[in-house]
């Protein structure tokens, strides 16, 4: 059997990590493990190190590490957009997410839709944001499976059953341990990944004309001077980078990772240091060029196997096994967080809001855990039963779709000026525009021949407007512009016609509250309808538009 | 209040990586890397440095 060593290492690592996922339930276990906070947000207790690894594993998914080298291999310099994208997102997140953390902490919010509900007082808008989040995240989970599949194909493992087993393991430990599992596993994944990336880079650096040769062969392949963007590609590059940067922290799984942090300083420190991963990502992307230089041929013409095939030809077997394990484990972390995030959206914003408003925290947790299983079953179904291309298409749509929640979730952190109905209308118009333009976009072969007529990419050619300079623009941004115009345009109209605004239960100070702030209300209080402790009840801080009284509350009682 | 103005520093890492014409060039190359590639990777350091400076300058107390 070929690849024996690689497969052994891969399987051994996978089993070890799955075991770790189960043990994670005992890690820093709180006294009560029966509400959504403790399962779905790790009791909001993660410090800077855990948060860093968790968010790193969550945002830089296995699929990214597989797909980016494949993209560089296929299209050249344009594939590097992920680097500016994953830089620009952070300064924005640094300010916005700290505010989101605070307001979520004060009000016991778990999902982005929870925030929208509190800020704009609209169940309908919250439902729309929740559904958008679920729709955008589901195919993303499926993509993680495709990342693992690329490794298995390279290893020559036949059939779909190993993939099904991997996902079953993931589903069970997520159900059992909640967010603690991916947090703990993320450590292992990063140690593996860091080691492998370092080993590969050093290997390339020490061989065959080092990087100069690598870039030269890319030059030859793409017929450009120094593998650069064609002048006509700059607008597409920058709009894709900007659009993706605005979207990244709107994803429910990113928000889940942030809300699990212990305090504001943890969020700030984590985000300030996360770009280290971007550097690693950029270097891994360049391995796509290395594959060109080394004449690596993707297995069965599937570009996603470029990186695994390169590692196989390049590294000693045991190290390649570690690399594959890093990709496999790297798929488990984000898939787990994503399923938790979508499950929370369902439990919080659909089940408790619409199906059973009186649900207790324990019931809410039960529903969320079951939903996390359902979500993964759905994702597995996507990959195992349908054409994988379908997941890729849906993910393309997903990133355009999630960007449309920016006015409600992102801008909502700064202003409640928008009218709730205007936000609903803007969101719907943005979604419609985005999907329509994606439908209009064909996939072209380098020769200009149409490969597929619809959903062929996320760049909308300016030729549609009669500007024939070869430039294109990211569809998500166009849809967002439509969304914003509708939202901003309708808000004054709705106010003028006397359509009532929703009630904003958040409050200026909430956006700057930190750990231990007197205005913090625990989830259980909110759900049960009042604090347990009568002392606290009497001293409870009045909110809703009144100034903060000097803090006299002994908030520790509530912990 | 005055501490908040430091947040404006964050405009730098949020905007510079989007100025494509600035870095869409080959020279200077470093260790075989065209500027396009190492320049963008260098923005990572720029972003981390700026955010860390802002974080320290705006820390409470």
DSSP B4-56: GGGGGGGHHHHHGGG-HHHH-S-PSPBTTB-HHHHHHHHHHHHHHHHHHHHHH
The two structure tokens encoding residue A242: 């900007």
Task: Report yes or no on A343 lying in a domain.
Answer: yes
Contacts across the A-B interface (CB distance below 8 Å): 111
Closest CA to A338 of A125, A76, A54, A48: A54
| Placement of tokens 């959903």 in the chain | A455
Model pLDDT, residue A270 = 94
Model pLDDT, residue B28 = 86
> Higher model confidence: residue A161 or residue A206?
A161
pLDDT of A100 above 90: yes
pLDDT of A136 above 70: yes
For an interface test with A, the pick among B21, B31, B43, B47 (most A C-beta atoms closer than 10 Å) comes out as B47
Model pLDDT, residue A469 = 75
pLDDT of A215 above 80: yes
pLDDT of A291 above 60: yes
What mean pLDDT comes out for the span A113-120? 91
Task: Report yes or no on A434 lying in a domain.
Answer: no
Confidence label for A521 from pLDDT (cuts 50, 70 and 90): low
Helix (H) or strand (E) holding A222: helix A210-222
Packing angle of the helix pair A234-248, A388-403 (nearest 10 deg): 80
Domain finish residue from A367, A393, A419: A393
Confidence label for A527 from pLDDT (cuts 50, 70 and 90): very low
| Closest Cβ opposite residue B55 in set A215, A268, A278 | A268
What mean pLDDT comes out for the span A109-121? 91
* d(CA B53, nearest CA chain A) in Å: 9
Calpha distance A470→A457 (Å, rounded): 15
State how far Cα A552 lies from the chain centre: 40
pLDDT of A211 above 80: no
Closest CA to A477 of A271, A285, A238: A238
Which residues of chain A neighbour B21 with C-beta distances below 8 Å?
234
A517 and A387 in one domain? no
A553 within 8 A of A540, measured Cβ to Cβ: yes
Closest CA to A281 of A143, A93, A87, A476: A87
Model pLDDT, residue A227 = 74
Calpha distance A419→A163 (Å, rounded): 46
Confidence label for A236 from pLDDT (cuts 50, 70 and 90): confident
Which residues of chain B neighbour A276 with C-beta distances below 8 Å?
44, 48
Share of chain A above pLDDT 70, in %: 88
What mean pLDDT comes out for the span A350-355? 89
Closest CA to A40 of A256, A250, A255: A256
User: How many residues in chain B?
Assistant: 61
Side-chain-side CA neighbours of A419 within 13 Å: the count stands at 19
Would the CB atoms of B14 and A77 count as touching at under 8 Å? no
Model pLDDT, residue A556 = 31
Q: Which residues of A touch B (CB under 8 A)?
A: 77, 80, 83-84, 87-88, 90-92, 94-95, 209-215, 225-229, 234, 237-238, 241-242, 265, 268-269, 271-273, 275-276, 278-279, 282-283, 286, 514
Question: What's the 3-state SS for A241-259?
Answer: HHHHHHHHCCCHHHHHHHH
CATH for A17: 1.20.1730.10
Cis peptide before B28 (omega within 30 of 0): yes
* d(CA B57, nearest CA chain A) in Å: 12
Domain of A513? 508-558
A67 within 8 A of A298, measured Cβ to Cβ: no
pLDDT of A553 above 70: no
Domain finish residue from A393, A423, A457: A393
Instruction: Spell out the residues 6+ positions from residue A457 whose beta carbon is closer than 8 angstroms to its own.
Output: A396, A441, A443
On average, the pLDDT of chain B sits at 87
Task: Report yes or no on A234 lying in a domain.
Answer: yes
> Higher model confidence: residue A468 or residue A366?
A366
Task: Report yes or no on A225 lying in a domain.
Answer: yes
A514 and A385 in one domain? no
Task: Report yes or no on A257 lying in a domain.
Answer: yes
Q: What pTM was computed for the model?
A: 0.87
What does the buried/exposed string (b/e) look like for A288-306 if buried means 16 or more CB atoms within 10 Å of the residue's CB? bbbbbbbebebbeebbbbb
Task: Report yes or no on A474 lying in a domain.
Answer: no
Confidence label for A209 from pLDDT (cuts 50, 70 and 90): low
Q: Please, what is the end-to-end C-alpha distance for chain B in angstroms?
A: 13
* d(CA B46, nearest CA chain A) in Å: 9
Question: What's the 3-state SS for A225-242?
Answer: CCCCCCHHHHHHHHHHHH
pLDDT of A142 above 60: yes
Q: Give the residue from chain B lying closest to A267, CA to CA.
A: B55
A389 and A513 in one domain? no
Domain finish residue from A393, A422, A438: A393
Model pLDDT, residue A337 = 94
Side-chain-side CA neighbours of A264 within 13 Å: the count stands at 21
Summarised one tens digit per residue, pLDDT across range A250-275 is: 999 999 999 999 989 999 999 999 99
A315 and A187 in one domain? yes
- Cα pseudo-dihedral A67, A68, A74, A78, rounded to 10: 140
A416 within 8 A of A117, measured Cβ to Cβ: no
A267 and A138 in one domain? yes
Give the lowest-confidence range in A86-100, A106-120, A158-172. Answer: A158-172
> Higher model confidence: residue A447 or residue A79?
A79
Task: Report yes or no on A155 lying in a domain.
Answer: yes
Computed over its alpha carbons, how large is the radius of gyration of chain A?
24
Model pLDDT, residue A208 = 56
What mean pLDDT comes out for the span A192-216? 77
Report yes or no: B1 at the A interface, CB cutoff 8 Å: no
Q: Give the residue from chain B lying closest to A79, CA to CA.
A: B37
Instruction: Spell out the residues 6+ positions from residue B44 whose beta carbon is closer than 8 angstroms to its own.
Output: A83, A87, A275, A276, A278, A279, A282
Confidence label for A557 from pLDDT (cuts 50, 70 and 90): very low
pLDDT of B26 above 60: yes
pLDDT of A559 above 50: no
pLDDT of A306 above 70: yes
Report yes or no: B31 at the A interface, CB cutoff 8 Å: yes
What mean pLDDT comes out for the span A307-315? 83
Q: Classify the complex by whether its ipTM is higher than 0.90, answering yes or no.
A: yes
Domain total in chain A: 2
On average, the pLDDT of chain A sits at 82
A372 within 8 A of A138, measured Cβ to Cβ: no
Tell me the pairing of strands A459-461 and A450-452: unpaired
As to burial, measured by CB atoms within 10 angstroms (0-12 exposed, 13-18 middle, 19+ buried), residue A354 is exposed
A332 within 8 A of A17, measured Cβ to Cβ: yes
Confidence label for A544 from pLDDT (cuts 50, 70 and 90): very low
* d(CA A227, nearest CA chain B) in Å: 8
pLDDT of A196 above 80: yes
Calpha distance A162→A385 (Å, rounded): 15
Model pLDDT, residue A447 = 64
Task: Report yes or no on A56 lying in a domain.
Answer: yes
A425 within 8 A of A440, measured Cβ to Cβ: no
Model pLDDT, residue A20 = 84
Question: What's the 3-state SS for A341-383?
Answer: HHHHHHHHHHHHHHHCCCCCHHHHHHHHHHHHHHHHHHHHHHH
């Amino acid at each position: 059997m070929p690849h024996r060593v690689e497969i052994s290492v891969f399987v051994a690592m996978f089993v070890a990590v799955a075991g770790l996922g189960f043990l994670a339930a005992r890690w820093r276990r709180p006294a009560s493990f029966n509400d959504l906070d403790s399962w779905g947000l790790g009791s909001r207790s993660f410090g800077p190190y855990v948060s860093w690894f968790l968010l790193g594993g969550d945002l830089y998914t296995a699929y990214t590490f597989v797909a980016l080298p494949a993209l560089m291999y296929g299209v050249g310099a344009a594939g590097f957009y992920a680097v500016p994208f994953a830089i620009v997102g952070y300064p924005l997140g640094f300010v916005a997410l700290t505010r989101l953390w605070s307001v979520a902490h004060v009000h016991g919010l778990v999902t982005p839709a929870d925030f929208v509900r509190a800020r704009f007082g609209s169940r309908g808008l919250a439902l729309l944001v929740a559904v958008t989040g679920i729709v955008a995240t589901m195919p993303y989970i499926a993509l993680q499976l495709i990342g693992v599949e690329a490794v298995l194909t390279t290893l020559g493992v036949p059939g779909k059953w190993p993939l099904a087993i991997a996902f079953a393991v993931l589903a069970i430990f997520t159900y059992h341990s909640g967010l603690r599992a991916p947090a703990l596993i993320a450590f292992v994944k990063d140690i593996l990944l860091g080691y492998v990336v370092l080993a590969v880079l050093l290997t390339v650096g020490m061989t065959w004309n080092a990087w100069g040769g690598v870039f030269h062969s890319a030059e030859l392949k793409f017929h450009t001077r120094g593998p650069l963007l064609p002048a006509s590609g700059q607008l597409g590059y920058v709009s894709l980078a900007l659009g993706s940067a605005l979207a990244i922290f709107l994803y429910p799984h990113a928000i889940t990772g942030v809300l699990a942090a212990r305090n504001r300083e943890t969020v700030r420190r984590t985000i300030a240091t996360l770009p280290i991963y971007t550097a690693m990502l950029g270097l891994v992307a360049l391995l796509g060029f290395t594959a060109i230089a080394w004449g690596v041929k993707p297995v069965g013409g599937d570009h996603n196997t470029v990186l695994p095939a390169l590692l196989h030809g390049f590294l000693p077997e045991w190290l390649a096994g570690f690399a594959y394990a890093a990709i496999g484990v790297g798929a488990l972390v984000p898939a787990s967080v994503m399923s938790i995030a979508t499950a929370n959206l369902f439990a919080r914003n659909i089940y408790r809001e619409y199906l059973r408003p009186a649900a207790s925290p324990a019931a809410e947790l039960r529903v969320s855990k079951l939903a996390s299983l359902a979500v993964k079953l759905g994702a597995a179904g996507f990959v195992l039963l349908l054409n994988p291309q379908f997941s890729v298409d849906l993910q393309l749509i997903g990133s355009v779709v999630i960007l449309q929640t920016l006015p409600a979730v992102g801008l909502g952190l700064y202003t409640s000026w928008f009218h709730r109905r205007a936000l609903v209308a803007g969101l719907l118009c943005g979604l419609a525009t985005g999907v329509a333009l994606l439908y209009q976009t064909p996939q072209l072969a380098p020769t200009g021949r149409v490969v597929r007529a619809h959903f062929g990419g996320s760049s909308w050619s300016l030729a549609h407007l009669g500007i024939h300079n070869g430039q294109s623009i990211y569809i998500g941004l166009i849809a967002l512009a439509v969304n914003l115009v509708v939202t901003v345009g309708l808000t004054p109209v709705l106010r003028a016609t006397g359509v009532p605004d929703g009630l904003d239960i958040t409050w200026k100070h909430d956006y700057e509250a930190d750990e231990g702030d007197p205005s913090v209300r625990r989830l259980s209080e909110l759900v049960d309808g009042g604090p347990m402790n009568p002392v606290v009840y009497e001293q409870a801080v009045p909110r809703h538009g009144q100034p903060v009284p000097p803090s006299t509350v002994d908030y520790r009682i509530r912990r | 209040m005055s501490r908040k103005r430091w947040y404006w520093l964050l405009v730098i890492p949020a905007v510079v990586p989007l100025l494509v014409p600035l870095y869409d060039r080959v020279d200077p190359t470093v260790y075989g890397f065209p500027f396009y590639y190492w320049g963008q990777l260098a923005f990572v350091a720029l972003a981390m440095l700026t955010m860390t400076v802002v974080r320290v300058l705006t820390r409470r107390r």
